[in-house]
Structure 1
Amino acid sequence: MDVLTKNIIFVGGKGGVGKSTSAAAIALQSAEQGFKTLLISTDPAHNVGDIFSTNIGGKTKEIADNLYALEIDPDIETDNYIKSVKENIRGVVHSGMMEEVHRQLDTAKASPGADEAALFDKLISIILEERANFDKLVFDTAPTGHTIRLLTLPELMGVWIKGLLDKRRTTNENYSRLINDGEPVEDPIYDVLRIRQSRFSKAREVLLDKKQTGFIFVLNPERLPILETKKAIELLNKYDLAVSTLIINKVLPEDADGDFIMERKKHEKQYIEMIKETFTKQQLIFVPLFSQDIISEKHLALFSEYFRKG
């Protein structure tokens, strides 16, 4: 697979299609080729630890030679995110208001989107800072909907913060003319927003850099995963994020027999044709349905053999 030459690889797809298995196989193959690899799970289900039969958690852990893993916990990251916001406003908000502001921030932890914002912050930190310690980053992302939002957030939040900066700048200019004899006023909040805007911009550059970053979607030869993958690719294209590779997983093997299986293969053949007709711009990798669960490094090695056939 051409995408395996990238330094940063995102693996997404509908829940249950074999996304975590694919990401784990890609990461293990990369490590075996001599690349120091970090496998990051952003999926709350966190199947990576189960695949490698180990507890991973929120701190980077070595799970095989050259292979490290990290499971991002949205609750922990949300707590850390709120703490950082509290630090940023220290000295900016009047001391008499701090208690109420902290109460509002603690309430915000439960608000819709808070965990995604925190997850996104952690994602940016890994992309901008942590990658200096590794040759390859492989992201096992949440099911498709969350993946889309995570990958499109740099542009969306960049636009949002630019609006805040413009408004803040205008307010500061007006304030300095009225109160400060035209001298610039110090504004720590403006500085924080500007730093965040810069980080979002850098993250977006990395995501859009086809030399560095590649995107893979995993699907099964079934109607709903095909339709969902098609919608996801179309949406990412609007943000100039091109999905170059598809792994079609759990394809019934040629030597499968029995009346039920043969009838199922007839339907599957139609869906495989549909995949070939729908995704003409993507490299297609077909992986058969295995007779057992993929729960060991040996199984992952067998799984990754099909990457070389693509």
Structure 2
Amino acid sequence: MRVDLFDFELPSERIALRPARPRDAARMLLVPPTGPFGDHGVRDLPRLLNPGDVLVFNDTRVIPAQLEGYRGEARIGATLHKRIDLRRWQAFVRNGKRVHPGDRIEFAAGVEARAEERLGDGSWVLFFPGDEPVEVLLERAGTVPLPPYIAGRRAIDEADRSDYQTMFAAKDGAVAAPTASLHFTPELLEAVAAAGIVYETLTLHVGAGTFLPVKAEDTTNHTMHAEWGTIDAGTADRLNAARAAGRRVVAVGTTSLRLLESAAGEDKVIRPFEGDTSIFITPGYRFRAIDGLMTNFHLPKSTLFMLVSALMGLERMQASYAHAIAAEYRFYSYGDSSLLLP
């Protein structure tokens, strides 16, 4: 499909630069398959779902993967986006033309890395010498890599360290938050449980590639970034049992959805999964593992807007986004939510 079909105009004032406080005070747009849209709040979620429904959260934790430093006199920025092994990470490098294989890059707090190899997509393999885990080095020298549409308009501050982390964050490795889960609080989770709704967790370490623009003119020519994820056997079994009993599986966030769909076969059975996924979901895709999606509002011409259009239909999503813009919903990572129930 033509990428420009997924374009829309978004006024800059609709882009949220801070999250709602408290988190579950955000708004939520209900998008059914037909009929009017429903203007709700995230706190209405327990009554918008059915008893027995299963919410699936991503328990990845965002690491401070943004580094600033120097190669000689040249200022270098690096955003780690995918772990290779214990001491090597793949990174997008700002001012990368000043870097050559073997160069040493000196970051803050005595942290350094060696540039080993430039990859085909323009990113670099960085090797961090020493005995301390790379995560410890990042806590000392790094900052949270906020999305460019936020970082380009205000400075990252201490509040972002907690604001850009979900209550489910447990496993280090993401460089972008699974933002649909940012709306959840212990109080909301208690209300969900009281309504007979259960939840499961999986892990997908969200990469900075999620913010990369689609440069191709047609979706068939776009190469999707890879991210590492895992679903254990127990979680897969419980999700399969829920669907077999007629209960809905609702992914909280596109990251959860993408991993569930990667783990499901043509028979719609979810299997244990561990490894990389580069699944690219566009209209025409037949969903195998989920029955609904809670997600924030996405960028024009992004792979995520393509994904929600695959779930609900392009015209339906265009109409829902037009409604959201007119009703002054807040967009993107720190913005409001939507509940898509096909």
Task: Establish whether TM, by shorter chain, passes 0.5.
Answer: no
Q: From the two aligned structures, give the one with the greater strand fraction.
A: 2
- Normalised to the residue count of structure 1, the TM-score between the two structures is 0.28
Larger gyration radius, structure 1 or structure 2: 1
